[in-house]
């Protein structure tokens, strides 16, 4: 069974308990391990530590999954705040280091929601920080809603996501930020009806990023089955 490394969501602990518990608590929704179980994968939570390099942490893993989470700080992509919600640099900075380490180790990477944004930032791409206020033609995106938004995305022929999912699919989204442009070394593989980037993949096919949440819809298993194949599991 393949071993996959999974980043965690960072939650702020109350300042009154920092002394005993530290500044953060880590976790994920059950929809993630449920998806990995359906795909026959063994997930391991990756937690931030100071005394072990990201390369040493990832050594021995077959895949890295960069999961969803809160807004990255715009300082990470050289912009002023333009509508980011309670942005934090810590978690995204850690995930960026893991991305670079996984690429160095040639480990396949799947980026989900924040994960696709981390991939873009790691490659020098900025984010549209608040779709509703900054994109006049925007549809379907509401990161403040309690429930994910279901909406169609179009897949681009010739891409790996198109070969896996077809021409158009309905996906589950929960975000209000998106990549401003396609990162260098990547191609766009999916787009929403309002023209925003919904999927990217590296030119070598070993990194896929999706802005939606495949662990909450029907797209998760096909995408992971592809990642398993390139990781050498099938």
* Closest CA relative to residue 115, chosen from 227, 234, 3: 227
Catalytic residue of the set 132, 181, 213, 225: 213
Catalytic residue of the set 113, 151, 162, 201: 113
213 is catalytic: yes
75 is catalytic: no
151 is catalytic: no
Q: Which residues are catalytic?
A: 113, 213, 215
């Amino acid at each position: 069974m393949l071993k996959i490394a999974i980043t965690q969501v960072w939650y702020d602990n109350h300042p009154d308990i920092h002394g005993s518990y530290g500044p953060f608590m880590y976790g994920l929704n059950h929809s993630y391990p449920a998806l990995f179980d359906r795909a026959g994968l063994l997930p391991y939570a990756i937690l931030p530590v100071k005394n072990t390099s990201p390369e040493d942490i990832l050594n021995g893993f077959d895949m890295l999954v960069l999961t969803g989470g809160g807004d990255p700080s715009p300082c990470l992509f050289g912009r002023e705040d333009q509508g980011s919600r309670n942005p934090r640099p810590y978690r995204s900075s850690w995930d960026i280091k893991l991305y670079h380490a996984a690429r160095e180790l040639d480990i396949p990477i799947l980026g989900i929601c924040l994960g696709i944004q981390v991939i873009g930032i790691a490659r020098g791409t900025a984010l549209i920080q608040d779709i509703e206020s900054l994109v006049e033609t925007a549809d379907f995106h509401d990161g403040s809603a309690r429930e994910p938004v279901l909406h169609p995305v179009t897949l681009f022929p010739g891409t790996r996501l198109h070969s896996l999912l077809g021409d158009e699919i309905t996906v589950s989204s929960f975000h209000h930020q998106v990549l401003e442009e396609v990162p260098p070394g990547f191609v766009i593989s999916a787009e929403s009806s309002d023209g925003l980037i919904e999927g990217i993949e590296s030119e070598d096919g070993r990194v896929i990023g999706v802005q939606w949440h495949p662990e909450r819809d029907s797209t998760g298993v096909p995408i992971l089955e592809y990642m398993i194949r390139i990781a050498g599991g099938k």
